[in-house]
Amino acid sequence: MSRLPPRYAPLIYGVVQVAITTAVATAIAIYPSMGLSPSALMHWAEAWLASWLVLLPVVVVISPLVQRLVLALTADETGTGP
């Protein structure tokens, strides 16, 4: 299997992170009203896909800004800022 160059790591991280987070969040949202019925799986899949498609670009665009904010709010290992 061929590996992608490291420059794609942030994008790959975003894709995987958004997939997992939206899968869990949509399952939590759907379960109280539908339980584990067969139709719940179809509703969950539709909700998950819609959530993933909306949130992926948001995470990819926003995450560099969040990283900069976190770095600005935290000290490096020597106790000083960036």
d(CA 39, CA 42): 5
Q: Which residue has the tokens 């539709």?
A: 46
Angle, to 10 degrees, between the axis of helix 9-34 and the axis of helix 38-73? 140
Per-residue model confidence as pLDDT tens digits over 4-49? 999 999 889 889 999 999 999 999 999 998 888 889 999 999 999 9
Its pTM stands at 0.73
Task: Decide: residue 15, CB within 10 A, 0-12 exposed, 13-18 middle, 19+ buried.
Answer: middle
